[in-house]
């Protein structure tokens, strides 16, 4: 209870600003921003930051969107630290969003109703994800979280996607996340192949080397699939021991190897 209260106070503090602007203030390199100045807990004004927003309409963004760590506006540089509420809501043709390490807050319904979004990485340093951030993202299969300790989740942060999404935390961090009150009841996996509480089927898999440049060897039993970052299946296997695959023809990038409910992320160089 004490931890929840502390996080609630933090969340409220983060949303207090010395000035506020409705809608968007700037459009820079394909991204709409609102500029705000944070209010310090003891009074006074702190850093002026940028919040990613939309242009007052659904379906603002499409394709692959890359959010920068900072933008320069009128000769001044500002960090991009928030994904605003409903920033990407209803973006029917949005396929991916790359978030910078400066992002600390993902707003209410920020990625909701994005039917083509299949993969998202949550950078280390995240402080909170708000309610229904990913609602109705039917194809969202993988959320990779890079914090080694749990951050605050509002109620229903992963509503409507719990039945199919793989929320993957750093290796051997599952117990810490599951011990946090707001993370209880969420099925978790880690990127060394461990599955959290609630998983009834035991599946083991090894994938090496990682990174790989010429071949990868997979040790597993049963169906194995390899998918790219867009969720497209590049290889489907039926295995009873181990198999070595040539990956020289694959484009460089990250791939996911899945056996049962075990998912491992592999870099092909």
Per residue in 207-259, pLDDT tens? 999 889 999 999 988 888 888 876 678 888 888 888 999 998 889 888 888 88
Separation of alpha carbons 65 and 81, rounded Å = 16
Range of the domain at 31: 2-190
Q: What is the mean pLDDT of the chain?
A: 85
Whether residue 57 sits in one domain with residue 12: yes
How confident is the model over 140-156, as a mean pLDDT? Answer: 91
Residue 163 inside a domain? The answer is: yes
Q: To 5 degrees, how large is the angle CA 50–CA 55–CA 56?
A: 115
Residue 79 inside a domain? The answer is: yes
Q: Nearest-CA neighbor of 123 among 139, 90, 143, 147?
A: 147
Whether residue 154 sits in one domain with residue 61: yes
Whether residue 211 sits in one domain with residue 186: no
Number of separate domains in the chain: 2
Inform me whether the pLDDT recorded for 13 exceeds 50: no
Residue 51 inside a domain? The answer is: yes
Whether residue 150 sits in one domain with residue 54: yes
Whether residue 153 sits in one domain with residue 60: yes
Looking at the whole model, is its pTM more than 0.85? no
Whether residue 154 sits in one domain with residue 51: yes
71 near 77, Cβ under 8 Å? yes
CATH number for the domain spanning 164: value is 3.80.10.10
Residue 196 inside a domain? The answer is: no
How confident is the model over 184-204, as a mean pLDDT? Answer: 69
Domain boundary among 142, 166, 190: 190
Whether residue 228 sits in one domain with residue 169: no
Domain boundary among 134, 159, 190: 190
Inform me whether the pLDDT recorded for 8 exceeds 60: no
Predicted pLDDT at 20: 41
Residue 198 inside a domain? The answer is: no
Separation of alpha carbons 65 and 126, rounded Å = 19
- Judged by average pLDDT, the poorest of 2-11, 55-64, 124-133, 155-164 is 2-11
Predicted pLDDT at 17: 60
Whether residue 124 sits in one domain with residue 230: no
Inform me whether the pLDDT recorded for 198 exceeds 50: no
CATH number for the domain spanning 229: value is 2.60.40
203 pLDDT tier (thresholds 50, 70, 90): low
Percent composition of the chain: helix, strand, coil (DSSP 3-state, to 5): 10, 40, 50
Separation of alpha carbons 169 and 167, rounded Å = 7
Predicted pLDDT at 170: 87
Look at residue 142 and give its three-state secondary structure.
Answer: strand
Write out the two tokens for 224.
């194995």
How confident is the model over 124-140, as a mean pLDDT? Answer: 93
Q: Across 108-112, 191-195, 210-214, 242-246, which has the greatest mean pLDDT? A: 108-112
Separation of alpha carbons 176 and 160, rounded Å = 24
Residue 195 inside a domain? The answer is: no
How confident is the model over 120-129, as a mean pLDDT? Answer: 94
Predicted pLDDT at 186: 86
Residue 118 inside a domain? The answer is: yes
Predicted pLDDT at 199: 47
Half-sphere exposure of 80 (CA within 13 A, CB side): 22
How confident is the model over 197-204, as a mean pLDDT? Answer: 55
Whether residue 258 sits in one domain with residue 144: no
- Judged by average pLDDT, the poorest of 150-159, 199-208, 224-233 is 199-208
Judge residue 131's burial from the number of C-beta atoms within 10 Å of its C-beta, 0-12 exposed, 13-18 middle, 19 or more buried.
middle
Domain boundary among 190, 216, 249: 190
Whether residue 52 sits in one domain with residue 16: yes
Whether residue 146 sits in one domain with residue 261: no
Pair type for strands 45-53 and 63-66: unpaired
Whether residue 13 sits in one domain with residue 110: yes
Predicted pLDDT at 106: 97
Give 112's contacts (C-beta < 8 A, 6+ positions apart): 86, 89, 90, 132, 133, 134, 135, 136, 137
- Judged by average pLDDT, the poorest of 48-62, 109-123, 227-241 is 227-241
266 pLDDT tier (thresholds 50, 70, 90): confident
Residue 201 inside a domain? The answer is: no
Going from the C-alpha of 108 to that of each of 83, 120, 184, the distances in angstroms are: 9, 16, 20
256 near 264, Cβ under 8 Å? yes
């Amino acid at each position: 209870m004490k931890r929840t209260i502390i996080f609630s106070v933090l969340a409220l503090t983060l949303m207090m600003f010395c000035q506020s602007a409705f809608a968007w203030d700037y459009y820079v390199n394909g991204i709409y921003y609102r500029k705000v100045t944070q209010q310090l807990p003891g009074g006074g004004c702190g850093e002026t930051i940028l919040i990613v927003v939309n242009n007052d309409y659904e379906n603002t963004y499409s394709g692959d969107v890359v959010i920068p760590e900072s933008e320069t506006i009128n000769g001044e540089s500002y960090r991009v630290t928030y994904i605003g509420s409903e920033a990407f809501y209803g973006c029917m043709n949005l396929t991916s969003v790359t978030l910078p390490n400066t992002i600390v807050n993902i707003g209410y319904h920020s990625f909701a109703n994005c039917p083509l979004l299949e993969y998202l990485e949550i950078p280390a340093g995240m402080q909170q994800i708000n309610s229904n951030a990913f609602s109705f993202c039917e194809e969202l299969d993988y959320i990779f979280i890079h914090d080694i300790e749990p951050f605050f989740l509002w109620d229903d942060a992963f509503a409507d996607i719990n039945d199919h999404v793989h929320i993957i935390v750093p290796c051997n961090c599952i117990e810490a996340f599951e011990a946090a009150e707001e993370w209880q009841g969420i099925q978790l996996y880690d990127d060394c192949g461990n599955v959290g509480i609630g998983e009834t089927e035991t599946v083991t898999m090894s994938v090496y080397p990682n990174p790989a440049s010429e071949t990868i060897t997979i040790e597993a039993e049963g169906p194995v699939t390899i998918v790219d970052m867009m969720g497209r299946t590049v290889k489907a296997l039926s295995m009873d021991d181990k198999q070595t695959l040539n990956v020289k023809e694959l484009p460089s990038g990250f791939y996911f190897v899945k056996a049962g409910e075990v998912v491992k992320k592999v870099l092909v160089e």
